[in-house]
Amino acid sequence: MGGDDIEKLTEKIAELVVNSQRCLVFSGAGISTESGIPDFRGEDGIWTKLDPEDFTIERFVASPEVRKLQWKLLAEGGLLRNVKPNAAHYAVAEMDKLGKLDCIVTQNIDNLHQLAGVQDEKVFELHGNMQYVRCLGCRKRFPMDEIVSRLATEELPECDACKGILKPDAVYFGEMLPQAVLSEASRRANLCDLCIAIGSTLIVYPAAYIPEYAYKAGAKVVIINIGPTPMDSKAAVRIEGKAGDVMTRVMHHVRNKISQ
């Protein structure tokens, strides 16, 4: 895609953003790979290095050895710790500062939208958040850093409130998505007038229903991704490109249009 094409398409997206009253951003792994986070299913994905079976809720609960392995990885700085937002996250955060963002619905578990400056209450995390830990007993939530700091002396940390099993607060295989989050995300999708899907193949369900709900409710859909998606033919604008580059260009045009 040539430079002129990119400019025309990003300007068209900017026009949709400026004219939108309720814009929903739907983000997938492709927005975070530019922060150095490998996706889960790609050639260099996380599942090429770890056994997906160790991330089933059944095995995690049943096997202290599996839990020890995962806490060891976390103690060594693995599993998405110390990552930073990139240009795409900051561009979405700028949309929010300009009053053009209703919410973000994300498949990601990296907390990068919040680190870029978007408030927690505007980010609906369908698959959880690896920067936190949850007790499977009393459901108390802890910052990940607090629990990781205990790993210097505790091989298998327990909940300090009820002695229950502690688990990273991400959705494991075999677990349901958080129903309150999914319900509110679906409601927002049915009310939005613009849905910008960034870095998602739109093939992982039920998360991928969100852009479909928006489209069926009459919203314009924008898709920014490397590789095809099942919704490409329904998109008002479809750009093949890196999230950071495309969203930076979009926000440049948005600022220009607002200043005029």
Partners of 106 in the β-ladder: 27, 125
Q: Which residues, at least 6 apart from 125, have a Cβ–Cβ distance to it below 8 Å?
A: 106, 108, 109, 178, 181
Q: How far apart are CA 208 and CA 112, in angstroms?
A: 20
Let me know if 127 is a catalytic residue.
yes
Three-state SS annotation for 113-129: HHHCCCCHHHEEECCEE
Looking at 113, 127, 252, 253, which residue is catalytic?
127
Q: How far apart are CA 68 and CA 72, in angstroms?
A: 6
Q: How far apart are CA 220 and CA 186, in angstroms?
A: 16
Picking from 195, 184, 257, the residue whose alpha carbon sits closest to that of residue 220 is: 195
Q: How long a stretch of residues is the chain?
A: 260
3-state SS of the chain: helix, strand, coil percent to 5?
Answer: 45, 20, 40
Both ends of the chain: CA-CA distance in Å? 28
So which residues are the catalytic ones? 127
